[in-house]
């Protein structure tokens, strides 16, 4: 692995590393914030999954999360959103291919060769973090939009793996909205039953762990009714008896202005769960 950025930040260090991913068969960039407490002993880790078009840079430069991670003693891990490289399959538009991995394991050509973001996030990335950084093994997961979808589905499918989960503006039912339908048809093929393993609304009914879900959603989000549809998750959680805190935030949109306004509360939520 190679450290390619190293900046002092709130008493700790905001770094970016490049490492080889065997799951994705390419080099990946990962933002790692080490709080000041990490100089004295291991700390729990919060994994952040970003949304469409993003890299590791969006969260670490726009969310203002380091201030709160330093306060609570959390490592922040912010990976890229897809495999990268000149020989990695891509497509026209922003919602498929590079920058749009959707945190699934693709099964269809040409995507299946590299697009295995589910395996990367669930297994390879935490193993790499815990082998190379002062991390305790206590994990939480969060994300925005496509990354909120990833955080919710990964937490629901992996009981005991995470102490807490939250999301900003998540795509809660990708099998029912245009972003998800386009991506899943390409990555997973035409079998809609196979899509359900990556759909939070479908997963809550069979979740083996009732891990409480915290979701913040802006009511001025331009994608609210067409792509995000948080009320579908609310109804599914109510039917399944799954704990959900859905906060509709007046006036907020889909941007990092929204995320930065509430990221401190999310980090406090995760810190309390990981103590």
What 8-state DSSP symbol labels residue 108? S
Based on the residue annotation, tell me whether 254 is a catalytic residue of this protein: yes
**Active-site hit among 221, 242, 266, 270:** 221
Q: Which of 72, 149, 254, 266 is catalytic?
A: 254
Residues 110 and 135 sit within 8 Å (Cβ to Cβ): no
Number of other residues whose CB lies within 10 A of the CB of residue 41: 9
> From CA 150, how far away is CA 147, in angstroms rounded?
5
Q: Is 107 exposed, middle or buried (0-12, 13-18, 19+ CB in 10 A)?
A: middle
Among candidate residues 21, 50, 142, 145, the one labeled active-site is 145
> Is 206 designated active site?
no
Q: Which residue's structure tokens are 């807490």?
A: 164
φ, ψ for residue 203 (rounded to 5)? -85, -30
In the residue annotation, 72 being an active-site residue is answered as: no
The sheet that has 75-79: what strands, in order across it?
Answer: 2-9, 12-21, 26-34, 75-79, 43-49, 135-143, 164-168, 213-218, 244-249
Active site residues: 145, 221, 254
């Amino acid at each position: 692995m190679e450290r390619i950025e190293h900046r002092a930040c709130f008493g700790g260090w905001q770094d970016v590393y490049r490492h080889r991913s065997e799951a994705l068969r390419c080099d990946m960039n990962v933002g790692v914030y080490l709080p000041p407490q990490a100089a004295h002993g291991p700390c729990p880790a919060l994994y952040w999954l970003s949304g469409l078009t993003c890299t590791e840079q969006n969260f670490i430069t726009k969310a203002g999360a380091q201030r709160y991670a330093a306060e609570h003693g959390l490592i922040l891990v912010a990976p890229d959103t897809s495999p990268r490289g000149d020989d990695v399959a891509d497509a026209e538009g922003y919602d498929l291919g590079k920058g749009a991995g959707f945190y699934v394991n693709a099964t269809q050509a040409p995507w299946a060769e590299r697009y295995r973001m589910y395996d990367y996030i669930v297994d390879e990335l935490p193993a790499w973090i815990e082998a190379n950084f002062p991390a305790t093994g206590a994990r939480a997961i969060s994300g925005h939009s496509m990354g909120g979808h990833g955080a919710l589905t990964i937490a629901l499918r992996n009981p005991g793996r995470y102490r807490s989960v939250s999301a900003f503006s998540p795509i809660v039912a990708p099998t029912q909205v245009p972003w998800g339908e386009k991506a899943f048809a390409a990555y997973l093929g035409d079998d809609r039953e196979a899509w359900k393993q990556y759909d939070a609304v479908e997963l809550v009914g069979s979740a083996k762990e009732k891990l409480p879900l915290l979701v913040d959603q802006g009511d001025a989000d331009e994608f609210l009714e067409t792509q995000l549809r948080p009320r579908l998750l609310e109804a599914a959680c109510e039917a399944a008896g799954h704990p959900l805190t859905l906060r509709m935030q007046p006036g907020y949109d889909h941007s990092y202005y929204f995320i930065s306004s509430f990221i401190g509360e999310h980090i406090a939520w995760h810190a309390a769960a990981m103590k």
